[in-house]
Homo-oligomer: A and B are copies of this chain.
Amino acid sequence: MRDTDLLPALLALQPIHDLPRTGWVQRGIQPPESVGDHTLSTAFVVLALAPRVEPALDLGRALALAVLHDVPEVVTGDLPRSAYRLLPAGAKMHMETAAARELLSPLSPAALELWNEYAARSSREARFVRVCDRLQLGLRLVAYLRAGRRGLDEFRATVAELDALEFPAAAALQAEILAAC
């Protein structure tokens, strides 16, 4: 592996900090959370919940999955639910897989493998991170509501629909979030 030429691969990820989470924009939140904000916040949820899961999860692996999970949005933008339900089955996954390959191959082969693991939900860690990704939505929702924002009811429904039963600690946080909004 060459040690150089990492700079372009790293610069290519920069837009993650500026791309807004489309769902919040659609509900009038200004300024909105960015995809990067969501990513880091998901990593915090992982850090908080993973030690409470039994049998033990691989925390480092789960963190890597969290940090990488939305990287393809740098290329695709954040396609909201209102968009991808209108695409043919599999189209979104195909697009994201191609985007992940473009972005992560030059960064590190290990990173690409991790993203594919997340996309396939092919490990307990991957399924756990997916749950944390949705709980983060609830976390931000509570923060917005406490700051006085309104008109966000549909996001509560999204959190309520989440099936977190595989990870009781996650289900407990889900209940705590729902009780707060």
Chain A residues proximal to chain B, CB less than 8 Å: 1, 3-7, 9-11, 13-20, 22, 25-34, 36-37, 39-41, 43-45, 47-52, 58-61, 63-64, 67-68, 74-80, 82-83, 86-88, 91, 94-95, 98-99, 107-111, 139-140, 142-143, 146-151, 168-169, 172-173, 175-177, 180
Q: Using Cβ atoms and an 8 Å threshold, which residues of chain B touch A111?
A: 47-48
- Least Cβ distance of A91 to chain B in Å? 5
A22 and B75 alpha carbons, distance in the complex (Å): 9
Name A's interface SS.
Answer: helix
Instruction: Select which of B1, B74, B149 is within 8 A of A148 by beta carbon.
Output: B149
Tell me if A77 and B83 are in contact (CB < 8 A).
yes
| Bound Cα distance A45, B14 (Å) | 11
